[in-house]
Amino acid sequence: MTHPGFTRHDDRLWVESLPLDEVAERYGTPCYVYSRAAIEARWNRYRTALGSDADICYAVKANGNLGLLNLLARHGAGFDIVSGGELERVLRAGGEAARVVFSGVGKGTDEIRRALRAGIRCFNVESAAELERIAGVAEAEGTPAPVALRVNPDVNPETHPYIATGLAQSKFGIALDEAEALYRQAADDPRLQVRGIACHIGSQLLSVAPLTEAAERLAALAGRLQEQGIVLDHVDAGGGLGVHYVDERPPSPAEHIEAVTAPLRDLGVAVLVEPGRAIVAEAGVLVTRIEYLKQNGGREFAIVDAGMNDYLRPALYDAAHTVESIAPTSAHCRPVDVVGPVCESADTFARDCPLPAAAGGLLAIRSAGAYGAVMASAYNARPRPPEVLVDGPRSHLIRRRETLDELMTGEASLPED
């Protein structure tokens, strides 16, 4: 029987129809494992909640693996990108340029040119200076650039300060009270085509109230623009829906959609959303093996073979994750600190985590499908881990483990003195 995602039965953690320990034996550890059914289930919940006059632009930054992007492209996904590299990923994965929106505060001239030539749907513009740069490239290319202004609605998303983006003091977006004049300027500029309004207030949101508040401010701005004859094709409400890591109870995709579409309903424009985490986070785990157990200062440590280079969120944001044992062990359950081999104290995945920890045992760090593999580095000269997509009883290696040769590619010694 195929299960959507990760389930525990027969005292083991399963991914769809495969015991996770079998997947670990086959591909080695550390290793990211994703469930196709779990990704599709989340995707379908968004798709069902959004009417036909709306588009889901998956935020590639959450997980840009080609296999995963290809899966979403087959479901007709649009994509939210933040770099020329992400555009290249989308195109190589079979995504349609016409369904791509390009966000980000610092788009380079080459990236703008490439996106314009590819025929993307819209640039989400972050400043007056960037608007001018885009207009200049459009003029040189002889193609008007489709633009939306990313406005900063100044609402508090009540999330971690590192991932809050919609406050007045943040580097993101254009202040609401400056946006109107810039829209008039853009509308009068033949090098630009005004397409919409965009906004993104933050990530891992556990209440939809700030999303509604932001959408209300966008609706008011859209109304004022329409009165001035500035025609909009869409309003892009961004991403941000939170997920379950430990004990969070996030709103559903349907609640997210209702919260952002209700204030915009009377405008008669399409609504876009840019979810990333909500599509892929819970559909992935990082599988790691306990190398050693040790005690120091009255604490017990399980030293695992995954490090902060493989999965950065706990070290960077102090993010809490559920860590669980994959297969039964003969050890008794007791609180241990799960730490990696990297030479930093921040290289800690969980503290006082109740586990039947035994050397050689396998652990799963849950909800690691978003902002996991994409944020991995080769710090401490540790090759980046593989990624595996499980589909029922089958597993597909969608990125193999980096080799030491690949890790050092492009480096060179100095010429002889």
Query: Please, what is the end-to-end C-alpha distance for the chain in angstroms?
Result: 66
| Contact between 40 and ligand LLP per CB under 6 A | no
| Sole binder of ligand LLP in the list 21, 80, 189, 305 (CB under 6 A) | 80
| Contact between 275 and ligand LLP per CB under 6 A | yes
Q: How far is CA 262 from the centre of its chain?
A: 25
* Residues facing 354 on adjacent strands: 335
| Contact between 349 and ligand LLP per CB under 6 A | no
Name the phi and psi angles at 66, rounded to 5: -60, -40
| Contact between 314 and ligand LLP per CB under 6 A | no
| Sole binder of ligand LLP in the list 91, 128, 163, 206 (CB under 6 A) | 163
| Contact between 240 and ligand LLP per CB under 6 A | yes
> Whose CA is closest to 177, among 147, 145, 221?
221
| Sole binder of ligand LLP in the list 35, 65, 83, 204 (CB under 6 A) | 204
Binding mask 247-266 for ligand LLP (x = CB under 6 A): --------------------
Phi-psi region of 304 (alpha: psi -120 to 50; beta: other; left: phi over 0): beta
| Contact between 103 and ligand LLP per CB under 6 A | yes
Distance CA 232, CA 24 (A): 50
Return the C-alpha torsion angle 98, 119, 84, 281, nearest 10.
0
For the CB of residue 334, give the shortest distance to ligand LLP in the complex, in Å.
29
| Contact between 373 and ligand LLP per CB under 6 A | no
Region from 111-119, 221-229, 234-242, 245-253 binding ligand LLP, contact rule CB under 6 A: 234-242
| Site size for ligand LLP (CB under 6 A) | 21
| Contact between 284 and ligand LLP per CB under 6 A | no
* Amino acid residing at 175: A
Q: Which of 57, 122, 333, 343 is catalytic?
A: 343
Half-sphere exposure of 353 (CA within 13 A, CB side): 23
Report helix angle 36-49 to 253-261, nearest 10. 30
For the CB of residue 278, give the shortest distance to ligand LLP in the complex, in Å.
6
Question: Closest CB to ligand LLP among 387 and 391?
Answer: 387
Region from 258-266, 275-283, 384-392, 404-412 binding ligand LLP, contact rule CB under 6 A: 275-283
| Contact between 189 and ligand LLP per CB under 6 A | no
For the CB of residue 262, give the shortest distance to ligand LLP in the complex, in Å.
19
| Contact between 203 and ligand LLP per CB under 6 A | yes
| Contact between 62 and ligand LLP per CB under 6 A | yes
| Contact between 371 and ligand LLP per CB under 6 A | yes
Mention every residue, 6+ apart, whose C-beta is less than 8 A from residue 222: 197, 232, 235, 264, 267, 269
3-state secondary structure 34-65: EEHHHHHHHHHHHHHHCCCCEEEEEEHHHCCC
Question: Closest CB to ligand LLP among 290 and 342?
Answer: 342
User: What distances in angstroms separate CA 145 from CA 95, 96, 404, 409, one per listed residue?
Assistant: 20, 17, 43, 37
| Sole binder of ligand LLP in the list 200, 234, 382, 384 (CB under 6 A) | 200
Question: Closest CB to ligand LLP among 250 and 386?
Answer: 250
Distance CA 261, CA 255 (A): 10
| Contact between 274 and ligand LLP per CB under 6 A | yes
Question: Closest CB to ligand LLP among 130 and 274?
Answer: 274
| Contact between 366 and ligand LLP per CB under 6 A | no
CB neighbours (10 Å) of residue 119?
A: 12
Region from 39-47, 55-63, 224-232, 335-343 binding ligand LLP, contact rule CB under 6 A: 55-63
For the CB of residue 283, give the shortest distance to ligand LLP in the complex, in Å.
13
Burial call 78-115: b when 16+ CB within 10 Å, e when fewer:
bbbbbbbebbebbbebebbeebbbbbbeebeeebbbbb
Q: Where are the beta strands (DSSP E) in 138-233?
A: 145-152, 174-175, 192-198
For the CB of residue 296, give the shortest distance to ligand LLP in the complex, in Å.
29
Distance CA 115, CA 345 (A): 41
User: Pairing mode, if any, of strands 100-102 and 78-81?
Assistant: parallel
Q: Is 199 an annotated catalytic residue?
A: no
List residues with catalytic annotation. Answer: 343
Q: Which residues bind ligand LLP (CB under 6 A)?
A: 59, 61-62, 80, 103, 163, 200, 203-204, 238-241, 274-278, 313, 317, 371
